[in-house]
Amino acid sequence: MFEMLTEREGRKGEVEGKLARLRARMAAANIEVIHLTQNANLAWLTAGAATYINEATDTSPVSLLVTPDKAYVLSDTIESPRLRDEQGLEALGFEIVSEKWYDRGHALLNLAANRRAIQDAGGGAAIMQELRSTLVPEEIERLRYAGQLAADAMDEVVRLVRPGDSEYLLAARMAQAARTRGGVSIVNLVASDERIFRYRHPLPTRKLVQNYAMLVMCFRFEGLILSLTRLVYFGVMPAELKAKKDACARIDARLILGTQAGRTFAQLFEIARTGYMQEGFPEAIEEHHQGGSAGYLPREVVAAPTLQMPISVNQAFAWNPSIQGVKSEDTILLTADGVEVLTQIPSFPTIPIKIGDQVIERPDILQS
């Protein structure tokens, strides 16, 4: 079991290392102050602290301000006690500056006055995205643990699906399964039957499951986010659906095994495009994005045909090839030894895919 944030060994060292990397980037850009307001960046720099209140927004009422020699938490009298006591920010070396909830903003103006400053929602966005994308050992440990939690949550929910369940009910079960494991399902997509064929991002409705259901989850744990999709079918599965799922699994396998350091996102996009063409679904590349790198956002960078950004070791990825009616998705980690699937469900049916001399198992459709 993972310890509470305030008990986690190594967390202070993680924060200190990240501050050093951030300050080096600031110095290289001749920046004296960076102001962080985005939840992804706050979670990154604080080693997973929950500084947000509203989970539906990208920004926090709390912010961080980093200078060459100080790191401040800009908060108010409402949030400061929780940030100090439960999130351990003061113990990590942050100086908490607390203002009255009805009279805020003076500290930011004073600390940034007459200094060359940027914000993470503006000029600092590219710097922060680059820093977030390559994971340090402590983050990799958390990501692996979170992958187990996400897989366990999905496994619990997908095996409970029954004909007659509403999509709302399945979404509620995913939310509950994530929350009871200490995470949050920040993307909760559910479709059944014909809706799976119509929509790539199906928000749940009151529709009842008849034969077929798709569950999609983006699971956030201490800031890090993992994505996975699973499908379940009741009755005799149509041969066409099975063929589509097998084709999608083969494309997914090519993307996963093709995730290699030094390759570019454009090259991974081309792997997907070629895969769809070989499988007889050339139009599918236009119907949905194919995924990309992951971390503190569901997708940090999405693969595109002209994106020459290189892939690196210690980055997470979530590829999500889809053909009308089917999808294949897990979160993986690229290590020096190759790729590691973080969200696989050990007892879930799989399709063995052979690419060259390598075999990788991809999720099949669960049949009941």
- At residue 1, the pLDDT reads 60
Q: Note whether 72 and 92 are within 8 A (CB).
A: no
Residue 214, token pair as written in the block: 């798709």
Q: Note whether 204 and 188 are within 8 A (CB).
A: yes
Q: In the Cβ-directed half-sphere of 113, how many Cα atoms lie within 13 Å? A: 6
Q: How far is CA 167 from the centre of its chain?
A: 23
3-class DSSP state of 135: coil
- Name residue 200's beta-bridge partners: none
Start-to-end CA distance of the chain, whole Å, equals: 32
Residue 334, token pair as written in the block: 């690229």
**Rounded distance between C-alpha atoms, residue 205 and residue 19, angstroms:** 44
**Sheet of strand 212-221, all strands in order from the earlier edge strand to the far edge:** 184-192, 212-221, 224-233, 366-367
Alpha helices in the chain (DSSP H): 11-28, 39-45, 80-85, 106-112, 125-133, 137-158, 167-179, 194-198, 239-258, 265-279, 284-287
* Sign (positive or negative) of CA dihedral 177, 295, 1, 19: negative
**Rounded distance between C-alpha atoms, residue 126 and residue 309, angstroms:** 12
- At residue 7, the pLDDT reads 74
Q: Note whether 66 and 36 are within 8 A (CB).
A: yes
- At residue 109, the pLDDT reads 96
Q: In the Cβ-directed half-sphere of 198, how many Cα atoms lie within 13 Å? A: 8
Residue 140, token pair as written in the block: 């990799």
As averages over each run of 10 residues, the pLDDT of the chain (368 residues) reads: 73 97 98 98 98 95 97 98 97 97 96 96 96 97 98 98 98 98 98 98 98 98 98 98 98 98 98 98 98 98 98 98 98 98 97 95 96
> In terms of C-beta density within 10 A (0-12 exposed, 13-18 middle, 19 or more buried), how is residue 56 classed?
exposed
- Among 220, 236, 349, 226, smallest CA distance to 294 is for 226
Q: Which domains does the chain have, with CATH numbers?
A: 5-133 (3.40.350.10), 137-367 (3.90.230.10)
Residue 38, token pair as written in the block: 């985005």
